[in-house]
Amino acid sequence: MPYLSRIPTTQPVAFLTIDDGYLKSPEAPALLAAAGIPVTLFLTTDAIHDDEPYFARLRDRGAVIEAHTITHTELRGRSYAFQRREICGSADRLGQRYQRRPVLFRPPFGTKDATTLRAAHDCGIKAAFMWKETVHKGKVRYQEGHRVQPGDIILMHFRPAFVRDFLAALRAIHRAGLTPALLEDYVPA
C-alpha cells in the first residue's frame, strides 16, 4: 500500500479532501449541498467530539468520512503500537459514530514512516493519501506546475476561511477542465 497524492486515471477528475474538523464552519453544510460535489473528510476524532452531528450533516450532503488519527499527532518515529492505536482507534470511533468504518487514511501533517503504512494496513485501511495541491486563505498552492492535473488530490482544512478555500478549490478544478469526483470511487483495489 503506497501513499497516493494523485490517482492514476485517464478521466478528467480531481479530488477535494478536507482534514481535521477543529473549526465547524456554519456555512459548510449548505455550501456542500448547494455545490452538489463529492468530498472526502479525513477527520481527527478528538477534533470532532464537541459537535459530532455537524459531520453527520456533512455526510448527509454527500461527504464521505475517513480516518485521520485520534489526536492529530505526528506519527513518524513513533512505535508500531502507538501508531496502530491512533489509526485503528480513529477508524473504530468514526465507524461507531457514523455507521461506516473508514477504509482510507491520511497521516497528520503528512508525516509518516514505514511503520505508519504497516499499522494502517493492519487496521484494515485500503489506501493512504497525501496531496498535490493545498488551499489556504482562498489561495491554491501547487506542488507541480500551475494547474490541477487529472487525478490530483487537493487538501484543505476546516479553517476560518473555509468558504473561500472551498470556492478557490472548485475554481482551480474547473479552470483545469476537470470535475470533482469522490476519492473512494477511484481508489485502486
pLDDT at 2 over 90: no
Q: Which pLDDT score, from 0 to 100, does residue 3 have?
A: 87
Measured CA to CA, the distance from residue 139 to residue 141 in angstroms comes to 6
Average pLDDT over residues 35-64: 95
Q: Which pLDDT score, from 0 to 100, does residue 189 have?
A: 65
- Report the percentage of the chain scoring pLDDT > 70: 98
Instruction: Say whether 139 sits in a helix, a strand or coil.
Output: strand
* Integer CA distances (angstroms), 114 to 37, 111, 152, 166, in order: 34, 11, 23, 32
Q: Average model confidence (pLDDT) for the chain?
A: 95
Q: Which pLDDT score, from 0 to 100, does residue 104 have?
A: 97
Domain boundary assignment for the chain: 3-185
Task: Report the predicted TM-score, pTM, of the whole model to 2 decimal places.
Answer: 0.96
Average pLDDT over residues 83-103: 97
Q: Which pLDDT score, from 0 to 100, does residue 1 have?
A: 67
* Integer CA distances (angstroms), 81 to 13, 44, 115, 116, in order: 37, 18, 10, 10
Q: Which pLDDT score, from 0 to 100, does residue 165 have?
A: 98
Class of CATH domain 3-185: alpha beta
Average pLDDT over residues 26-51: 95
